[in-house]
Amino acid sequence: MTIDHVGIAVESIEEALPFYRTALGLVPVHSEEVPDQKVRVAFLQAGQTALELLEPTSEDGAVAKFLKTRGPGLHHVAFAVNRLPDEMERLRKMELPPLEKSPRAGARGHQVCFLHPKHAYGVLVELVQHGR
């Protein structure tokens, strides 16, 4: 698997963006709101991979809770896969069930699922299949 992107939780994309753009020279390539995840996201290209800045749009979403309990920082690592349903089934058979029963729509129109950090040594893992 290759790393698709690294998610970073921030209080404000507008406030965080200048650091990544100016200090690190990364180029913002896409932004959108993901209403069912209660976040606004901005992707910055970093070579072959990307950073995803995640800003909560509501007090009761996963990222808002993360910021409240742990503060800003590394939120998840996302890996690209070719056939997400097959990967999910493979993980279920290994008793590492994804949080979702089936792939769901994520940012950029991709299909995604998440693995709980308790299965991945403290890291929230996302699997991403590009396309719908």
Residues contributing to the site for ligand CMX (CB under 6 A): 7, 34, 37, 39, 41, 52, 54, 62-63, 65-66, 69-70, 75-76, 99, 106-107, 114, 116-117, 122-124
Q: Are 10 and 16 in contact (CB under 8 A)?
A: yes
- Min separation Cβ 2 and ligand CMX, Å: 17
Query: Residue 11 has what DSSP assignment?
Result: S
- The smaller minimum CB distance to ligand CMX, of residues 25 and 120, is found at 120
- Min separation Cβ 8 and ligand CMX, Å: 10
- The smaller minimum CB distance to ligand CMX, of residues 7 and 26, is found at 7
- Min separation Cβ 100 and ligand CMX, Å: 9
What own/partner pairs with CB < 8 Å and gap ≥ 24 does 85-93 have? 87/127, 88/113, 88/127, 91/115
- Min separation Cβ 23 and ligand CMX, Å: 23
Distance in angstroms between the alpha carbons of the first and the last residue of the chain: 19
Q: Are 101 and 113 in contact (CB under 8 A)?
A: no
User: CA 62, CA 47: separation in Å to the nearest integer?
Assistant: 28
- The smaller minimum CB distance to ligand CMX, of residues 26 and 128, is found at 128
